[in-house]
């Protein structure tokens, strides 16, 4: 089985990240992971700190820095470094993991950071995979009809992500895909969760296919009870 992290930040791009991209990759390699998806934060506030103003191309050149460093290190080690984004809209503090995209897609869709969840879903739902990260961490109302899936266990140790509420939402909506993520920002966050697959995941498009086909299992020892209950959902 191959092991993949689906939620990870780099210090070079995410303001809240404390670990260099290359160090993240090396640590995950040491833990036996075959790969990881870099999901650095993308939203108005972080872009405003990047000093790229209204030049979307310049912003993306800057934004992609962490991912590109991770990729470079991954190539040395034979790791699959997958591209993803943790997107937030100005409307509130909900975060969405976007899979099934590449660097070019980002360049071609300027200022998606200025949209809202409803218009983003309406426009891109057939094109990309939208997973609600830690749905209940920052809010009580989750617009689950505008996502394809839920992160049922977010394993970041410094936040109360209220995963049990995410589980309840997943149970009530069995059609939503389910993922887990370590949400690794600092040393010690890494390797708390994974998806396990029979085949390798070379890129973000393959990741989208794996999730939508259901060809993976969730792994997260800390939230074993949540995963057990998720298993039961899929057998309904």
Residue position matching structure tokens 């309904």 = 236
- Residue 151: CB minimum distance to Zn ion, A: 9
Stretch touching Zn ion by CB under 5 A, among 46-54, 85-93, 106-114, 226-234? 85-93
Interface with Zn ion (CB under 5 A), residue from 5, 151, 183, 189: 183
- Residue 167: CB minimum distance to Zn ion, A: 19
- Per CB under 5 A, contacts with Zn ion among 190-229 are none
Interface with Zn ion (CB under 5 A), residue from 1, 16, 199, 232: 16
- Residue 225: CB minimum distance to Zn ion, A: 23
Helix (H) or strand (E) holding 95: strand 95-99
Supply φ then ψ for residue 86, to 5 degrees: -105, 105
Q: Is the CB of 73 or the CB of 189 nearer to Zn ion?
A: 189
Q: Is the CB of 109 or the CB of 132 nearer to Zn ion?
A: 132
- Residue 232: CB minimum distance to Zn ion, A: 27
Is the C-alpha dihedral spanning 148, 60, 81, 32 positive or negative? Answer: negative
Task: Count the residues of the shown chain that bind Zn ion, applying the rule CB under 5 A.
Answer: 3
Q: What are the residues whose beta carbons fall under 8 Å from the beta carbon of 128, sequence distance 6 or more? A: 98, 99, 100, 101, 105, 208
- Contact between 14 and 63 under an 8 Å Cβ cutoff? The reply is no
- Contact between 152 and 166 under an 8 Å Cβ cutoff? The reply is yes
- Residue 87: CB minimum distance to Zn ion, A: 11
Stretch touching Zn ion by CB under 5 A, among 16-24, 25-33, 55-63, 207-215? 16-24
Give the CA distances from residue 115 to residues 59, 93, 120, 128, 150, in Å, rounded to whole numbers and listed in that order.
Answer: 17, 13, 6, 15, 20
What is the 3-state composition of the chain as percent helix, strand, coil, each rounded to the nearest 5? 40, 20, 40
Q: Is the CB of 80 or the CB of 183 nearer to Zn ion?
A: 183
Q: Would you tell me which residues interact with Zn ion (CB under 5 A)? A: 16, 86, 183
């Amino acid at each position: 089985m191959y092991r993949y992290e689906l939620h990870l930040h780099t210090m070079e791009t995410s303001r809240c990240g404390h670990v260099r991209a290359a160090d993240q990759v090396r640590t995950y390699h040491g833990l036996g992971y075959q790969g990881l998806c870099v999901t650095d934060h993308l939203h108005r506030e972080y872009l405003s700190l990047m000093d790229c103003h209204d030049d979307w191309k310049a912003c993306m050149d800057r934004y992609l820095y962490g991912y590109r460093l991770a990729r470079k290190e991954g190539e040395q080690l034979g790791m699959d470094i997958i591209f993803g984004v943790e997107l937030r809209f100005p409307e509130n503090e909900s975060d969405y993991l976007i899979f099934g995209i590449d660097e070019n897609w980002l360049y071609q869709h300027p200022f998606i950071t200025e949209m809202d969840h409803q218009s983003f879903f309406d426009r891109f739902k057939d094109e990309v995979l939208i997973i609600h990260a830690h749905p209940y961490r920052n809010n009580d109302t989750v617009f689950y009809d505008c996502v394809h899936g839920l992160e049922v266990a977010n394993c970041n140790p410094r936040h109360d992500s209220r995963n049990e509420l995410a589980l309840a939402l997943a149970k009530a909506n069995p059609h939503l895909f389910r993922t887990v993520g370590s949400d690794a920002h600092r040393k010690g966050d890494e390797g708390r969760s994974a998806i396990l697959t029979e085949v390798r995941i070379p890129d973000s498009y393959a990741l989208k296919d794996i999730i939508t086909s259901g060809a993976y299992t969730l792994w997260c020892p800390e939230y074993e009870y949540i995963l057990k209950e998720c298993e039961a959902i899929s057998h309904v």
